[in-house]
């Protein structure tokens, strides 16, 4: 159970730290080999670019989990509590539909690239790997959005239940 809880709470953080460390090491290797040994690595810039793609998309999922995406809440804050909850749910449904469409479309693109057998020029890695960052990140965002929506609705219903018990 502890492992599942760790994965649920820290999945993105662990992945992001590992990828960031790998990107920093690869870029540092490139700098040293290029300027100290005068022998640039042919694959390092390409791999670093792909790692940054993964950082971006998984980072977007982390931002979703932490509720750190940009939002305009001027009108939202003026609504009563029930109106805020309705607004949250509607916003999340629209966002979820968008994410699921993007997962489907980016997965289709990734599978198309995979079936073509294309590989990266410098590193030789299959090109579907960088492309897979998009459906992975979007899928994780959708998962975290559903989790957040569930937590919001649960907190709202518990608050209402407590208010009814206390006679308010």
Query: What distance in Å separates the CA atoms of residue 95 and residue 77, rounded to the nearest whole number?
Result: 20
User: What domain count does the chain have?
Assistant: 1
Query: What distance in Å separates the CA atoms of residue 118 and residue 112, rounded to the nearest whole number?
Result: 10
Query: What distance in Å separates the CA atoms of residue 108 and residue 51, rounded to the nearest whole number?
Result: 21
Summarize pLDDT for 34-87 with one digit per residue, the tens.
Answer: 999 999 898 999 999 999 999 999 999 999 999 898 877 888 888 898 888 888
pLDDT computed for residue 25 by the predictor: 96
Domain of residue 139 covers 2-165
Task: Give the closest residue to 57 by CA, choosing from 125, 135, 110, 109.
Answer: 135
Q: Kindly report the length of the chain.
A: 168
């Amino acid at each position: 159970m502890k492992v599942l809880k760790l994965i649920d709470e820290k999945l993105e953080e662990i992945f992001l730290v590992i990828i960031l460390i790998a990107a920093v090491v690869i870029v540092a290797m490139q700098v040293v080999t290029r300027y100290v040994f005068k022998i640039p690595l042919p694959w390092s810039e390409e791999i670093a670019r792909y790692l940054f793609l993964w950082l971006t998309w998984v980072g977007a999922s982390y931002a979703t989990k932490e509720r750190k995406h940009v939002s305009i809440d001027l009108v939202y804050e003026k609504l009563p509590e029930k109106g805020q909850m309705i607004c949250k749910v509607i916003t999340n449904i629209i966002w979820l539909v968008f994410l699921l469409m993007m997962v489907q479309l980016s997965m289709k693109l990734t599978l198309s690239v995979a079936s073509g057998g294309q590989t990266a020029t410098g590193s030789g890695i299959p090109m579907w790997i960088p492309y897979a960052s998009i459906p992975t990140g979007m899928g994780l965002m959708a998962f975290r959005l559903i989790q957040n929506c569930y937590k919001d609705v649960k907190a709202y219903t518990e608050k209402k239940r407590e208010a009814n018990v206390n006679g308010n």
